[in-house]
Amino acid sequence: MTNRRDFLRNASLFTLGGLLAGKGSMASAATNAAPVVHNVHASKNFGLQIYSLFRELYDDVPGGLKKVADMGYSYIELAGYRDGKISNIEMADFKKMADDAGLKIRSTHVNPPVREYNASNKQQIMDFWKKAADDHAKIGVQLLIQPGQPSTRSVEETAYVGEIFNEAGKIAKAAGLSFGYHNHEMEFAQVIPGGSESKFGRRAYGRDQQGVEIIYDLMLKNTDPSLVFFELDVYWTVMGQQDPVAYIKKYKDRIKALHIKDKYVLGQSGMMNFERIFAQANANGITNFFVELERMAEGTGTQFEGVKGCADFLNKSSFVK
């Protein structure tokens, strides 16, 4: 099993040279990663996960959303839902601000109030999803996505999570929405039947261990395609020591949205081969692309500046439609 420290040190080679591009040298990988630049297109298809702006957005939400639209984003994915509000703003009011800015609210990230799923709290989880689905349906959201990983310490526990996801999918479907799941890196850890913990990287289960499964693959296996889709975060997939292109290709009927993400601003780390990612996504017919930016490194700019840098990268890249 690859040592995690070695993997991270060599991430550029894996994702550009080997894992994604299939090349043998860092030099050729770097060349392949560079976007082909044409004239900037005014109406490319990509959106923004508003988490990317942190509290900067809430200094002036109407003005901030207008800035986002002016950068070239055409839709957004919400974050911060609680009790019928988005960060203390009534959802109807937030929708009006987005509409006024020319932004469509397509998607939302929402987590239920518990991480451990069991029979005793199943109804609590379902009640939560019923309200969340109803609240978001009222403002025309299409995608209801859970971004937080439930407890998945064994094959059996992960299978039960799949059952809960299916039930959430039924609730979302009844409200006219689609239910999805968004990954981070630890969904690519391993579990075993009867296990008490997931294992990742150099701690992963050995080849002689029976029944070893990757959590993410189990989630796919144990959910109904008609009820649950997946939003693949391409950066966290790489941090999970997996190939996002391979997953998009293998699960073309399950992965319906992507988080387009890099270590910081898109294209600056050299770790991600976005050209290959977009090529496969476009071949699959994926139309939901959400940029997500973690907190900018100290002294490198504001979140708004980082989000604009991401938009500039996509607007200048010929592989983005």
Per-residue pLDDT tens digits for 258-273: 999 999 999 999 999 9
Calculate the alpha carbon distances from 123 to 62, 132, 159 in Å.
Answer: 37, 14, 18
Query: Residue 15 pLDDT > 90, yes or no?
Result: no
**pLDDT value of position 11:** 42
Mean pLDDT calculated for residue range 103-127: 97
Cα distance between residue 146 and residue 181, in whole Å = 5
Cα distance between residue 124 and residue 144, in whole Å = 18
**pLDDT value of position 42:** 52
Query: Residue 310 pLDDT > 80, yes or no?
Result: yes
Predicted confidence (pLDDT) per residue in 217-264, tens digit: 999 999 999 999 999 999 999 999 999 999 999 999 999 999 999 999
Cα distance between residue 261 and residue 268, in whole Å = 11
Query: Which H/E stretch holds residue 65?
Result: helix 61-71
Dihedral (Cα; 206, 244, 236, 299), 10-degree rounding: 140
Query: Residue 6 pLDDT > 50, yes or no?
Result: no
